[in-house]
Amino acid sequence: MERNYPGGPLNEVPEYTSIGSMLDTVAELYGRRVFMSEPGGRSITYSALREKVQKVARGLLELEEKPVVAVLGDNGIDWAVSFLAALRCGGVAVPVDRELPMGEVHTILHYADVNVFAFHSRFAEDVADHLGRHGDCIRQVVMSGPPGEGGMDTLPGLEQRGAASEIPLPSGTGVDQPAVISYTSGTMGRAKGVVLTQRNLLSDLRGMLQAVGLRHDEVFLSVLPMHHMYECVCGFLCPLSHGCSVVVARGLRHIAEDLASSRATLMLGVPLLWESMYRRIMDSISAQTLGGLKLRLGKTAARAGEMVGISDARRKVFGELHRRLGGRMRFLISGGAGIDPEVVEGYAELGMELLQGYGLTECSPIVAVNRDTANRLGSVGPPLPAMEVRIDAPDEEGVGEIVVRGPNVMVGYHSRPDLTAEVLSDDGWFRTGDFGRLDEDGFLWVTGRRKNVIVAKNGKNVYPEELEHALNRSRLVAESMVLGRRSEPKGEVIWAIVVPDTDRLIEIAEERGRDLDEEMAAELLRRELTAVNGAQPVYRRIARFIIRTEELPKTTTRKVRRPEVMREAGLLEPEKTYRV
């Protein structure tokens, strides 16, 4: 689609016709380069990856004529090989959340018609317990271990079988057939399997690389779980398609050390991760002698340097901070939910480019992303070049539901035409369920999820995410969740569930010579909420709050499980009841 694209000309990138041709091309171009490294020192080059994937793909075809392969495990080479082999043999990959209870995993296997289940050895006992007799119709493949271990197929065993096989691999046809089924929920009848084709995935990859200028020697630090389409496409397939390297992180607790040791240039994260990391950076600066003064002076010096044309003035002024993080970081990418604009600005002031994007699994997953040449703070950037975006039923401020169309939009929900029809029109427009607006320059701004919107008595929409950003800026608040509670005379009343920073509260109590108790905590938090309310119009003010002492429950991609929080607080009515 032709349009005047913000940030200047698009980057020139190749257009692949299939995942197989992409893998062949990058293996020829970057054969000796290490594609992926794991904790413990194991690594694989591009050429070795292609060879292994092709052998395992043939091995899968020896097991099943049309493999539907569920993949369960930690980020790493075995996960990557299993996923790519499923696509390379013309089959379907079903990435599974490693944090799901095995009962829900079994539900996904059932819904997706899985006939091959590849899993890490640490899940072997649970798999055996839960699959039982139903496992007879599913070929089980343990990702690690020697061929034939425990009577099961193994990934090395499949590789050996494939090496001896003469079954031809598909030449690239079928790119519009289902390639991935990604489940957004695995429980009972609510399980929704998003069906994506190879063309969907490749078009999204191409759009991202056209928008964001990546080099071929980038080093990605992989932190988020690969089963999620955000990390799978942007943090795995994207570097693979561009000849980059991926270093698998040891976990959230080791990010700073892994950034330093890997000397990564790019990392994908979610808002909670970036906000937490920014808070730790600020706390470490504040803890230094005259830390606050040094920070202000540094910002002033950086601005002065920029005014006289020093493009990397901030990286030089805050060089010590950059060196502690490896010294080579080019981009921080945020997605999965809205991030506090003040945090994005804070990183920028320290010389760190944070690019916020927006997407959904149903869109493979990216819809829009800020560019390195056009980064508008607070927005999620312009839609990808091939994407069409319109705002449905906008209000007086131009905010309405975001509706999108493009080559990356899903085929539909697996075996659920009823659910597909609710969100996908016959002419390809997908209703995202998110509210937002487009500005005059074509940048997309997302205000919040439609299902979370609070409708005030005056009919105005209140977006919980915006109030949560305001609350979370307080040093006394670790995290929060804002929701609406129905009140007949007042419309929806705004409540907040607040998790306090207990260490900070204890510190204040000790300064006052008191022990911290519930009454004091409530008093301190009430002052913070009153301050937040003072900056809001009347209809957006928080009326009541609940103190929660435990961290909010989250998904593996660090999204708050809102229904679970409300249920635990006694605020969620049962969805359906039955007469005995």
How confident is the model over 364-392, as pLDDT tens digits?
999 999 999 999 999 999 999 999 999 99
Inform me whether the pLDDT recorded for 167 exceeds 60. Answer: yes
With bands split at pLDDT 50, 70 and 90, how would you rate the model's confidence at 188? very low
Inform me whether the pLDDT recorded for 317 exceeds 80. Answer: yes
pLDDT in tens, 130-161: 776 555 689 999 997 665 555 578 999 999 99
Inform me whether the pLDDT recorded for 191 exceeds 50. Answer: yes
* Percent of the chain with pLDDT strictly greater than 90: 64
pLDDT in tens, 463-474: 898 899 999 999
pLDDT of residue 8: 93
Residue 12 is classified by DSSP as: P
As a whole number, mean pLDDT of residues 303-330 equals 85
pLDDT of residue 285: 86
Give the separation between CA 67 and CA 58, rounded to whole angstroms: 11
Enumerate residues 6+ apart whose C-beta is below 8 A from 193. Answer: 94, 108, 111, 112, 181, 182, 183, 413, 414, 415, 416
* Whole-Å CA distances, 228 to 75, 96, 427: 11, 8, 27
pLDDT in tens, 395-443: 888 999 999 999 999 999 999 999 999 999 999 999 999 999 999 999 9
Q: Letter for the amino acid at 505?
A: L
pLDDT of residue 457: 75
Inform me whether the pLDDT recorded for 6 exceeds 90. Answer: yes
Neighbours of 427 (CB within 10 A): 6
431, 438 contact by CB (below 8 A): no
pLDDT in tens, 438-449: 999 999 999 988
CA torsion 29-33-38-44 (nearest 10°) is: 70
pLDDT of residue 187: 45
Token pair in block for residue 297: 């002076």
- Alpha helices per DSSP H over 379-515: 417-423, 464-472, 502-511
Inform me whether the pLDDT recorded for 226 exceeds 80. Answer: yes
What is the average pLDDT score of the chain?
A: 90
* Percent of the chain with pLDDT strictly greater than 70: 94
With bands split at pLDDT 50, 70 and 90, how would you rate the model's confidence at 186? very low
Q: Is residue 452 classed as helix, strand or coil in its secondary structure? A: helix
pLDDT in tens, 228-251: 999 999 999 999 999 999 999 998
Token pair in block for residue 34: 């290490």
Chain centroid to CA 554: 13
Inform me whether the pLDDT recorded for 2 exceeds 60. Answer: no
Neighbours of 107 (CB within 10 A): 20
Q: Letter for the amino acid at 570?
A: G
pLDDT in tens, 255-313: 989 999 999 999 999 988 998 899 888 888 888 888 788 888 888 888 888 788 787 88
Half-sphere exposure of 263 (CA within 13 A, CB side): 3
Conformational region of residue 380, where left means phi above 0, alpha means psi within -120 to 50, and beta covers everything else: alpha
Inform me whether the pLDDT recorded for 492 exceeds 90. Answer: no
pLDDT of residue 571: 80
Token pair in block for residue 312: 């990397």
Give the separation between CA 214 and CA 186, rounded to whole angstroms: 35
Q: Is residue 141 classed as helix, strand or coil in its secondary structure? A: strand
